[in-house]
Amino acid sequence: MSTGKEQLDVDVEDDFVATDSDEATEAPIEVAKTNLSKRRTIDNLLEERRLQKQLADYDFDL
């Protein structure tokens, strides 16, 4: 376990890998947008189903 007083030797040039391609960074964003869109659609359908069930269970003869 580190005490915080130890000096760590880190060689930054060896650890960093640069990519010149913009396509590699675009793909995860597109997938995230698609997944978020699907999640919102599912949430909306579940909310609609819940509200329809509440409406069906509601006693209108108050």
Host H or E run for residue 22: none
- Chunked mean pLDDT (size 10), the chain, 62 residues: 59 56 63 91 97 89 66
Q: What's the pLDDT score for residue 21? A: 55
∠ CA 16-20-21, rounded to 5°: 120
DSSP states of 3-25:
-S-SPPP--HHHH------SHHH
Kindly report the backbone phi and psi dihedral angles of residue 60, in degrees, each rounded to the nearest multiple of 5, phi listed first: -80, -5
Domain ranges of the chain: 31-61
Predicted confidence at residue 59, as pLDDT, reads 79
**pLDDT (0 to 100) of residue 35:** 92
Distance, CA of 19 to CA of 34 (rounded, Å): 24
pTM (2 decimals)?
0.47
